């Protein structure tokens, strides 16, 4: 059984492969093109990009050149976090679709509730305006699902109170020791899928001795333990790599971490606390 074919169901009824290929910090051009193409040829059917990653062009080209039926690939892109207007959202979506060279995306996310330059700022009204446009895009059929990213409970509640469509997903920072339990439980109770971004803590968890010990026990790598952990927590997982060996290894996670070890991992402190 190939775990790359395993999927969750979104609240739209659509399926979403549990493992997605992350593309943040992969430069547009040959690197994004060849790593995305390699991931697709290795069986990945879910690609995660964003307007601000600057690589939509190469990601889209890899999807077209893969020869895989577009309907068999789940493609996510994101609205830049500093766009908080209705018209700005519609216009930016058009730019993304054009740059990707696709007719539709499978998931369109508001990248963050605040611009990165004002992390934590209150943009509730802007998010409500952007969400209205997200709903229009969804209704047009050009995004098969819409959702959010980096939203906390308060941010989510504002969308639920003011929107007419429940977000399909919330993509959040989620890895061993850093699992944002409050918003995770809030979303999971409401049928909003949690997508775990940075499942390897952007590489910073890879030399963690506690996880390494467990990896040795299971005869797996630290990366595989981290990815498997996020799956067993019921989240989509989005590992990123530009190395073919790692792209393959990150999808080779068809094993089970037992309950006791899951509890142990759940209890680990955040190895990479954000300032
Ligand atoms: N919505 C958001 O705000 C947001 C924020 C961050 C991330 N994301 C999404 O989540 C994806 C993943 O997060 P991330 O990019 O922070 O990184 P990550 O997947 O947590 O870690 C990637 C790092 O780990 C290395 N790596 C990958 N697999 C490995 C393996 N098997 N063995 C050893 N090293 C390995 C990679 O190296 P190489 O690349 O050199 O191989 C890279 O340095 C992003 O690409 C993006 O799609 C979303």
Testing ligand 1's pocket by substitution, the residue of 200, 237, 249 carrying the most ligand atoms inside 8 A of its CB is 200
130 in a domain, yes or no?
yes
20 in a domain, yes or no?
yes
CATH number at residue 169: 3.20.20.100
For the stretch 113-136, pLDDT in tens is: 999 999 999 999 999 999 999 999
Is the per-residue pLDDT at 57 higher than 70? yes
Q: Where do we find the tokens 């790692």?
A: 246
Q: Which residues on neighbouring strands pair with residue 8, listed in sequence order?
A: 16
The total number of structural domains in the chain stands at 1
Give the end-to-end CA distance of the chain in Å, rounded to a whole number. 41
Comparing 149 with 271, the larger pLDDT belongs to 149
Catalytic residue check, 229? no
Q: Residue 52's domain spans which residues?
A: 3-266
Q: Which of 8, 33, 44, 53 is catalytic?
A: 53
SS3 82: coil
Distances (CA, A) of 196 to 33, 50, 166, 188: 23, 15, 19, 13
Q: Tell which atom from ligand 1 comes closest to the C-alpha of 23.
A: 45
Distance from C-alpha of 173 to C-alpha of 144, rounded to nearest angstrom: 23
Backbone φ and ψ of 146, nearest 5°: -130, 150
249 in a domain, yes or no?
yes
Q: Is the CB of 238 under 6 A from ligand 1?
A: yes
Looking at the chain, the whole-number percentage of residues with pLDDT higher than 90 is: 97
37 in a domain, yes or no?
yes
pLDDT for 107 equals 99
273 in a domain, yes or no?
no
59 in a domain, yes or no?
yes
14 in a domain, yes or no?
yes
Measured in Å, residue 20 CA sits from the centre of ligand 1 at 11
272 in a domain, yes or no?
no
Mean pLDDT of 36-64: 98
Q: Where do we find the tokens 């991931």?
A: 39
Q: Is the CB of 252 under 6 A from ligand 1?
A: no
pLDDT for 274 equals 65
Supply the DSSP string of 108-176, one letter for each residue.
Answer: EEE--SS-GGGTT---HHHHHHHHHHHHHHHHHTSBS-EEEES--HHHHHHHHHH-SS--SEEEEE-BT
Q: Is the CB of 250 under 6 A from ligand 1?
A: yes
Distances (CA, A) of 252 to 11, 62, 223: 27, 22, 10
Q: Give the DSSP H/E element, type plus range, for residue 77.
A: strand 74-79
């Amino acid at each position: 059984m190939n775990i790359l074919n395993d999927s969750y169901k979104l609240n739209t009824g659509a399926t979403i492969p549990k493992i997605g290929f992350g593309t943040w910090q992969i430069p547009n051009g040959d690197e994004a093109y060849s790593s995305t193409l390699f991931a697709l040829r290795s069986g990945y059917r879910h690609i995660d990009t964003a307007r601000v990653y600057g690589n939509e062009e190469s990601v889209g080209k890899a999807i077209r050149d893969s020869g895989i039926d577009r309907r068999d690939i789940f493609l996510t892109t994101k609205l830049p976090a500093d766009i908080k207007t209705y018209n700005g959202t519609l216009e930016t979506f058009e730019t993304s679709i054009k740059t990707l060279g696709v007719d539709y995306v499978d998931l369109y996310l508001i990248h963050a509730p605040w611009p990165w330059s004002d992390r934590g700022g209150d943009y509730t009204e802007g998010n409500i305006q952007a969400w209205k446009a997200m709903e229009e895009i969804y209704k047009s059929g050009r995004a098969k699902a819409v959702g959010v990213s980096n939203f906390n409970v308060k941010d989510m509640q504002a969308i639920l109170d003011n929107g007419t469509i429940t977000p399909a997903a919330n993509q959040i920072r989620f890895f061993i020791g850093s699992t944002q339990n409050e918003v995770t439980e809030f979303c999971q109770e409401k049928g909003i899928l949690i997508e775990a971004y940075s499942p390897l803590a952007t590489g910073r968890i890879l030399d963690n001795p506690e996880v390494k010990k467990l990896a040795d026990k299971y005869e797996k790598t630290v990366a595989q333990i981290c990815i498997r952990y996020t799956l067993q927590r019921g989240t989509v997982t989005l590992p990123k790599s530009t190395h073919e060996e790692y792209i393959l290894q990150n999808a080779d996670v068809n094993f089970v971490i037992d309950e006791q070890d899951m509890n142990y991992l759940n209890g680990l402190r955040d190895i990479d606390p954000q300032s």
